[in-house]
Amino acid sequence: MLLRPASAHLNFRISAVSGSSGSSGKKGIAASAPNSNYVVPLDKSSCITRPLAEILRDLNKRIPDNIVNTQDHQSTFIPWYQANRMLSFYAPGWCGEIRDVIFSESGRVTVVYRVTVRGSDGEAHRESTGTVSADDGNSAEDPVAKAEEIAFCRACARFGLGLYLYHDV
């Protein structure tokens, strides 16, 4: 299970190339998100330059142990923001969208999420769902955001990103 806070949005880039001289005085040095090992340049030469096969191969790589979290000493997961950063690093130009939100009479919320990865030779989509109970006792957390977080992370796993974590349990 990968987690995502309720207030976060998934449709943004993590870091950008500095357009002016930064503190180092070097133009074009990529800035990165705090506490991140990933630098995502946003210049024109970086977007959609690799074939899908290379992107998918990279997304299937094992994730560094310092990024993987353990919950309740049993389940392991990648936080949603780390999945976002890794997608931006390996598949610049990716996008995600909520395809549907379903509210059931039993109080459950299901979100259908699609991740699209674009390569030089085409694009690929993966969709997945996340379902949570609206009355599971945690009223501080938005059930739609929680379901979106689960769906996003599962869609990423369908590309291979952290998929092995679902099998190592």
Q: Is residue 9 part of a domain?
A: no
Q: Taking each helix axis from N to C terminus, what angle separates 80-90 and 52-59, rounded to the nearest 10 degrees? A: 150
pLDDT, one tens digit per residue, over 121-152 is 999 999 999 999 977 666 678 999 999 999 99
- The tally of domains found in the chain comes to 1
pLDDT, one tens digit per residue, over 26-41 is 444 444 444 444 444 4
User: Three-state SS string across the chain, please?
Assistant: CCCCCCCCCCCCCCCCECCCCCCCCCCCCECCCCCCCCCCCCCCCCCCCCCHHHHHHHHCCCCCCCCCEEECCCEEECCHHHHHHHHHHHCCCCEEEEEEEEECCCCEEEEEEEEEEEECCEEEEEEEEEEEECCCCCCCCCHHHHHHHHHHHHHHHHCCCCHHHHHCC
Kindly state the average pLDDT of the residues 89-116: 94
pLDDT band at 79 (very low <50, low <70, confident <90, very high): confident
What pairing do the DSSP bridges indicate for beta strands 75-77 and 95-103? unpaired
CB 148 within 8 A of CB 5: no
Of all residues in the chain, what percent carry a pLDDT higher than 90? 46
Question: Measured between alpha carbons, how far is 128 from 154 in angstroms, rounded to an integer?
Answer: 6
Closest by alpha carbon to 40, among 49, 32, 48, 28? 32
Q: Say yes or no to pLDDT of 67 above 80.
A: no
| Residue 8 pLDDT | 40
| Residue 63 pLDDT | 82
Q: Who has greater pLDDT, 108 or 136? A: 108
Q: Is residue 1 part of a domain?
A: no
Range of the domain at 110: 52-167
Q: Is residue 104 part of a domain?
A: yes
Q: Is residue 20 part of a domain?
A: no
Q: Is residue 112 part of a domain?
A: yes
Q: Is residue 29 part of a domain?
A: no
Q: Is residue 66 part of a domain?
A: yes
Q: Is residue 17 part of a domain?
A: no
CB 168 within 8 A of CB 149: no
User: pTM surpassing 0.75?
Assistant: no
- CATH number of residue 62's parent domain: 3.30.390.80
